[in-house]
Amino acid sequence: MNNTSIFIQTVIGGVGIGSLYALIALGYSMVYRSMGLVNFAHGSIYMVGTYFGIMWYAGLVMGLHVPYPIAFVIGVLLNGAFGVLLERILRPLAKLDLMFMLLGTIGLGYVLDNLFVIIFGAEGFAVRSPLPSMPLVILGVRIQPQMLLVIGVSAILMVALQLFLARTKTGKAMRASAMDRDIASAMGVRVNRMNALTLAIGSGLAAAAGILAAPIVYVNPAMGAAVGLKGFAAAILGGLGSIPGAIAGGLIFGVLEAISAGYISSAYTRGIAFIVVVVVLMVKPSGIVGEITVEKV
Amino acid sequence: MFLEIENLTMQFGGLVAVNGFSLGVAEGTIQGLIGPNGSGKTTIFNVLSGYYKPSGGKITFKGKRISGLPSYRVTASGFARTFQNLRLFKSMTVLENVLVGMAQHAETGLLSAIFNPIAISHEEEYFHEKAMGLLKLLDIAEFADTLATSLPYGHQRRVEIARALGTDPKVLLLDEPAAGLNETESENLRKILLQIRELGVTICLVEHDMKLVMGICDRITVLDYGKKIAEGTSSEIAKDPVVIEAYLGQEDNS
């Protein structure tokens, strides 16, 4: 294997992991944009979504083994419905100071993490990929089939989200209520309902990320902590509140991680990725796509 | 009465912004609301459109009480408004700004967006045409795909009116629509407002441009310190000594 194909392989791996970070970063950014809420329970919501899908696939519910695509859809929908419930819980927090938001959402995250320890036990389990585990070899570049699935499905979800926000009337209403909730509600938009939908979409995307990641990572109730933090860093890197920013931030973060693991040392992966984030923010505090400032009234 | 404000009081802490204000507005008329700055005009609009819950009194529209309802429900019952300081949706085009208000009356919801894309595309087409019609009415159709906030001030005012009309209002509340407009633009606005009345929309107008107010309002109500001090047609108001002292006199000094 030559250097070029190793590099390409590393970048593809980074894009794969990065798409997962992007899906999670979208949840942070969309909720911040529409409710002004920094939701630190999002990592736990990602974990919950993973279980909501994988439990059907991995035989945790009455020994059922439903096909992976069906488990995926069930997980995304269940977590979406869970997001609607979360809006009701988080609504009072969105009006408070950042300190209360942090405490409230971190607390909610702990409750979810421990609730799942009680239900499913603290020890995790490995999930087998629905696709063959033999890597595909294309022009000397070896790629895991699951990684291609991750990249493909994430790309479809992100394009679908953009089309939904830009083209549909509900998408327009969501954008409007994020931009100016008073005016949106004067235009007849039900702002609380839009917030619920935002949390539903953010949670659904987090579930999608978790169910796609499950065959690559180890599923357990503590899995949300590290990924949640990286997704948040990715959202900040791209510019918190910006949708293209969340996608760009996630991909950049993933590729950085993969390159530093491949070329420097996997022991320093996180350190290096976070250092880059800090440096970028020192140069451009609003993030990469941060020219759109989010104003809250 | 079509729109009836009865004994409305709005208090903020110790400050009484509106004090026992009553007003009846007949359908299809243009009702002016004038008074010196701080006399409570915008507060009345904010109560009317559901931003504030009144401290006292009530508002009924076609016999149904609307005071105290959340603003999206007030809008759904047939009210739309514009704002004194322009507040367009920043990163949206002119057309999108108008579509936001329109979309809320749509019959197809999120589920049909997923399961019945054809019905949606018909509906979108219908909304699109209707929005373009409103932009034509306000003579800004050529800017449909321009970012709303990049337009000159006078045009942005018209986008706000188009956006408000997009919600299909029975009553249109205009808060100083002529502010910052020059003579020609103000004259255009006058024609547009008359056209809107032709469509059967009742207009409530808060405005400092006396020429405009006197020229188009069927009835004018004068406020001072949150209280009604006079009411009548423009010629009656122009002759009223109380008004001249409280309002027009002060206008000359400023």
Cβ–Cβ contact A163 with B under 8 A? no
Distance CA A180, CA B186 (A): 28
Asked if the structure places residue A247 within a domain, the reply is no
Cβ–Cβ contact A61 with B under 8 A? no
Inter-chain touch B75–A187, beta carbons under 8 Å: yes
Q: How many domains is chain B partitioned into structurally?
A: 2
pLDDT at residue B248, as a whole number: 57
Q: Is pLDDT of A71 > 60?
A: yes
Domain of residue A77, residue span: 15-224
Distance in Å, alpha carbon of B80 to nearest chain A alpha carbon: 7
Q: What percent of chain A has pLDDT over 90?
A: 50
Inter-chain touch A187–B100, beta carbons under 8 Å: yes
- State pLDDT tens for residues A24-66: 999 999 999 888 888 999 999 999 999 999 999 998 888 888 9
Domain of residue B33, residue span: 1-78+171-254
Inter-chain touch A180–B87, beta carbons under 8 Å: yes
Asked if the structure places residue B224 within a domain, the reply is yes
Which of B137, B168, B199 finishes a domain? B168
| pLDDT band at residue B120 using 50, 70 and 90 as cut-offs | low
Which of B168, B197, B217 finishes a domain? B168
Residue B175 and residue B237 in one domain: yes
In the block, residue with structure tokens 């509340």: B173
Residue B69 and residue B124 in one domain: no
Residue B142 and residue B186 in one domain: no
Q: Is pLDDT of A6 > 70?
A: yes
| pLDDT band at residue A292 using 50, 70 and 90 as cut-offs | very low
B93: its two tokens: 């085009």
* B138 close to A198: Cβ distance less than 8 angstroms: no
Asked if the structure places residue A185 within a domain, the reply is yes
Residue B176 and residue B164 in one domain: no
- The ipTM (two decimal places) reads 0.77
Asked if the structure places residue A182 within a domain, the reply is yes
B45: its two tokens: 């609009």
Asked if the structure places residue B193 within a domain, the reply is yes
Residue B142 and residue B178 in one domain: no
Q: What percent of chain B has pLDDT over 90?
A: 56
Residue B176 and residue B253 in one domain: yes
Nearest one of A30, A60, A9 to A214, comparing CA atoms: A60
Asked if the structure places residue A275 within a domain, the reply is no
Nearest one of A160, A206, A163, A198 to A179, comparing CA atoms: A198
Asked if the structure places residue A111 within a domain, the reply is yes
Q: What percent of chain A has pLDDT over 70?
A: 97
Could you tell me if residue B7 is left (phi over 0), alpha (psi between -120 and 50 degrees) or otherwise beta?
Answer: left
Query: Per 3-state DSSP, what percentage of chain B is helix, strand, and coil (rounded to 5)?
Result: 45, 25, 30
Which residues in chain A (82-141) have CB-CB distances under 8 A to chain B? none
- State pLDDT tens for residues B133-187: 999 999 999 999 999 999 998 899 999 999 999 999 999 999 999 988 888 889 9
Distance CA A241, CA B124 (A): 27
Asked if the structure places residue B119 within a domain, the reply is yes
Distance in Å, alpha carbon of B60 to nearest chain A alpha carbon: 18
Inter-chain touch B92–A184, beta carbons under 8 Å: no
Nearest one of A163, A164, A169, A204 to A189, comparing CA atoms: A169
pLDDT at residue A40, as a whole number: 92
Residue B132 and residue B247 in one domain: no
> In whole numbers, what is the pLDDT of chain B averaged over residues?
87
Q: What is the pTM of this model?
A: 0.83
Give A295 or A213, the one with higher predicted confidence: A213
Asked if the structure places residue B99 within a domain, the reply is yes
pLDDT at residue B105, as a whole number: 60
- Residue A63 CA neighbour count, 13 Å, CB half: 0
pLDDT at residue A295, as a whole number: 43
Asked if the structure places residue B83 within a domain, the reply is no
> Considering only CB atoms, which chain A residues are within 8 Å of B81?
186
- State pLDDT tens for residues B5-27: 999 999 998 889 999 999 999 99
pLDDT at residue A27, as a whole number: 95
| pLDDT band at residue B253 using 50, 70 and 90 as cut-offs | very low
Residue B112 and residue B215 in one domain: no
Q: How many domains is chain A partitioned into structurally?
A: 1
Distance CA A240, CA A286 (A): 8
Tell me the one-letter amino acid at B188.
N
Q: What is the DSSP letter of A134?
A: S
Q: What is the mean pLDDT of residues A149-174?
A: 91
Q: Is pLDDT of B119 > 90?
A: no
* A83 close to A199: Cβ distance less than 8 angstroms: yes
Asked if the structure places residue B66 within a domain, the reply is yes
Inter-chain touch B90–A191, beta carbons under 8 Å: no
- Lowest mean pLDDT: which of A168-172, B48-52, B202-206? A168-172
Which of B107, B134, B168 finishes a domain? B168
Distance CA B151, CA B92 (A): 12
Q: Is pLDDT of A230 > 70?
A: yes
pLDDT at residue B244, as a whole number: 80
- Alpha-carbon radius of gyration of chain A: 19
Q: What is the CATH number of the domain that holds B219?
A: 3.40.50.300
| pLDDT band at residue B107 using 50, 70 and 90 as cut-offs | low
Residue B59 and residue B116 in one domain: no
Asked if the structure places residue B84 within a domain, the reply is no
Residue B157 and residue B175 in one domain: no
Cβ–Cβ contact A200 with B under 8 A? no
Distance CA A71, CA A60 (A): 12
Nearest chain A residue to B173 by CA: give it: A186
Q: What is the mean pLDDT of residues A196-225?
A: 94
Residues 6+ apart with CB under 8 A from B168: B78, B102, B105
Distance CA B213, CA A71 (A): 64
Cβ–Cβ contact A183 with B under 8 A? yes
Nearest one of A272, A250, A247, A252 to A262, comparing CA atoms: A272
pLDDT at residue A106, as a whole number: 93
Other beta carbons less than 10 A from residue A164's beta carbon: 17
Residue B214 and residue B241 in one domain: yes
Cβ–Cβ contact A176 with B under 8 A? yes
Distance CA A187, CA A70 (A): 39
With both helix axes pointing from N to C terminus, report the angle between B117-137 and B153-165 in degrees, rounded to the nearest 10: 130
Asked if the structure places residue B64 within a domain, the reply is yes
Residue B43 and residue B98 in one domain: no
Asked if the structure places residue A69 within a domain, the reply is yes
Q: Is pLDDT of A293 > 60?
A: no
Q: How far is CA A24 from CA A160, A203, A226, A227, B246, in A?
A: 16, 9, 12, 8, 60
Distance in Å, alpha carbon of B83 to nearest chain A alpha carbon: 9
Asked if the structure places residue A287 within a domain, the reply is no
